[in-house]
Amino acid sequence: MDIPLRDPAPTLEARHLAKEYLCWSKMHAESGEDLCRIISRKERERQAGNGLFFWGVGNAPAVLVQPLARLGARIPVVFSLMKGKPKSLDLSPQTLLVWRSYFDLHGIERPLPPNVLVTSRAATASNDKRRHFALICFSRHELHFTRGVPFDPSAYRNAGGTGAAVGPSQVTALVRRVGTQTAPSDYEANIQAELVGSLWVKLSNPICVPASRIELHKASHLMGSEAWTEIVNAVRSGPSSCERDDRQGCLF
């Protein structure tokens, strides 16, 4: 199995990498869900996965992700509230993609764990959405939105390449610590976890569903882990590809 559900004894190099590197991701409403509901759903996913959950992101992994994953590194991940308002496409999409598989660090396509539900809107501003990615996360602790823990991006630079400063348009980035937090920051470490296994992966095998179908998990905080897994299986069931029709949206 690609994803370790138990903690292996970390090597000295892996422990060093966990102190040097960090993944920073900005978050907001997405796929028709407000942030509060997303966090609640991810907490249910985490509980059902014994600490494991996937967090969908829009951009491809950094080049250094694969070498770090091969070394067995567990990289801290910080989620911060994004500045500004979410896009209208994220607030009220008509159709969604539900992703069912991913490519691990060896390029092997694997089904998502049975507790994992990753969605994205089915279209971008200009065309149909073809790619989506996910952070493979682990936390022993409950996920909740925390205030008052500052996060200063200026203490980090992009990992690899020229080591440029993290740009304002970057939503998810693998970064390397270059200093200590000194300047006041508009960002906070609102959620913290670790990246495990293949760390940051490309998703595959989506199905297209009406946004209303995801209403199934709105009361997920009231469900046990077994009921949650059954709902995930129900939402992920369907054909292996998404066919679009301008008159009807998505066909099953």
For 158-185, the pLDDT digits (tens) are 998 888 999 888 999 999 998 877 767 8
Nearest CA among 104, 45, 36, 102 for reference residue 70: 104
Question: What is the band of 188 on the pLDDT scale with cuts at 50, 70, 90?
Answer: very high
Q: What integer pLDDT is reported at residue 14 of this predicted model?
A: 66
d(CA 25, CA 148): 17
Q: What integer pLDDT is reported at residue 125 of this predicted model?
A: 54
- If 0-12 CB within 10 Å is exposed, 13-18 middle and 19+ buried, where does residue 81 land? middle
Question: What is the band of 244 on the pLDDT scale with cuts at 50, 70, 90?
Answer: very low
Lowest mean pLDDT among 52-61, 90-99, 102-111, 225-234: 90-99
Residues 249/210, Cβ–Cβ less than 8 Å: yes
For 196-221, the pLDDT digits (tens) are 999 999 999 999 887 766 665 455 55
Q: What percent of the chain has pLDDT over 70?
A: 78
For 10-25, the pLDDT digits (tens) are 566 666 676 789 999 9
pTM (whole model) above 0.95? no
> Domain residues of the chain, as ranges?
12-243
Rounded average pLDDT over 152-156: 91
Q: What integer pLDDT is reported at residue 118 of this predicted model?
A: 95
- For residue 77, pLDDT beyond 80: yes
Rounded average pLDDT over 57-72: 93
